[in-house]
Amino acid sequence: MSGLEIVAVIISALAVWLTARRHLWCWPIGLVSVLLYARIFLDAKLYSDLLLQLIFAVMQLYGWWQWSRAVPGQDNSQLDTHHIQPQRLPKSGLLAGLLAGALGSVVLGYVMASFTDAHIPWLDSALTSFSLVAQFWMARKYIANWWLWIAVDIVYVGVYIYKDLNLTAGLYAAFIVLAVIGLRNWRRQLAGNQPAAAAAA
């Protein structure tokens, strides 16, 4: 356990808590956390996770833009500028996301297993690939992102215990709890939006 890991854990937990609360500030704070973890995973030789954090840095900017922009066809003057409105993921999007995650797992796993000294390259690559899908769904405000995060984070807890990153394992266990809270919060918000939308129609 290092001072850097302690700081990264605190900032990451804050970012996920803000995401569960649907608060726009989750993205800039999340950007700081992923850059800190990029350094941690470099030292741990978890290269897929390192790559994931660097891609997450770009995704944080994308998510920040997505959540802060106006929604076409909607009365944006009535929206809370700090909190987003969740959406349901279409079945086509679900299938496309899972297929992309599986394909990315195979491609990245092969690269990491063949050309690097990465530890547990196949599992690490699968977690990386499906984490990117979950992050994209989150940026698009799809409630399904929480289900995928719960599944991914459960596996991550075991990986970080194995890698002796015990504080980070504890963080990901907390992420599971926060993901359940986020799922409940977003579903409640969506259910509250539907009567209002029906009345407006």
pLDDT in tens, 37-74: 999 888 877 777 788 789 889 999 999 998 887 544 44
Instruction: List phi, psi (to 5°) of 8.
Output: -60, -40
Which one has a higher pLDDT value, 3 or 150? 150
Per-residue pLDDT band at 81 (split at 50, 70, 90): very low
Look at residue 91 and tell me if it is in a domain. Answer: no
Percent of the chain's residues with pLDDT above 90: 53
Look at residue 46 and tell me if it is in a domain. Answer: yes
Long-range contacts of 158-164 (CB under 8 A, 24+ apart): 159/120, 159/123, 159/124, 159/127, 162/120, 163/44, 163/46, 163/119
Look at residue 123 and tell me if it is in a domain. Answer: yes
Q: Is the pLDDT of residue 194 over 80?
A: no
- What distance in Å separates the CA atoms of residue 22 and residue 66, rounded to the nearest whole number? 13
CA-to-CA separations, 172 to 102, 157, 194, in angstroms, rounded:
22, 6, 32
Look at residue 81 and tell me if it is in a domain. Answer: no
- What distance in Å separates the CA atoms of residue 32 and residue 13, rounded to the nearest whole number? 12
Look at residue 87 and tell me if it is in a domain. Answer: no
Look at residue 78 and tell me if it is in a domain. Answer: no
Domains of the chain: total: 1
Per-residue pLDDT band at 191 (split at 50, 70, 90): confident
Q: Is the pLDDT of residue 143 over 50?
A: yes
- What pLDDT does residue 73 have? 47
CB contact at 8 A, 51 and 121: no
- What distance in Å separates the CA atoms of residue 201 and residue 188, rounded to the nearest whole number? 21
- What distance in Å separates the CA atoms of residue 199 and residue 168, rounded to the nearest whole number? 46
Q: Is the pLDDT of residue 96 over 50?
A: yes
> Residue 23: beta bridge partners?
83
Q: Which domain holds residue 137?
A: 3-69+97-200
Look at residue 82 and tell me if it is in a domain. Answer: no
Dmax over CA atoms of the chain, in Å, equals 58
CB contact at 8 A, 82 and 23: yes
Look at residue 143 and tell me if it is in a domain. Answer: yes
Mean pLDDT of 7-28: 90
Q: Is the pLDDT of residue 79 over 60?
A: no
Q: Counting every residue, how long is the chain? A: 201
Estimate to the nearest angstrom the gap between the alpha carbon of 38 and the chain centroid.
Answer: 15
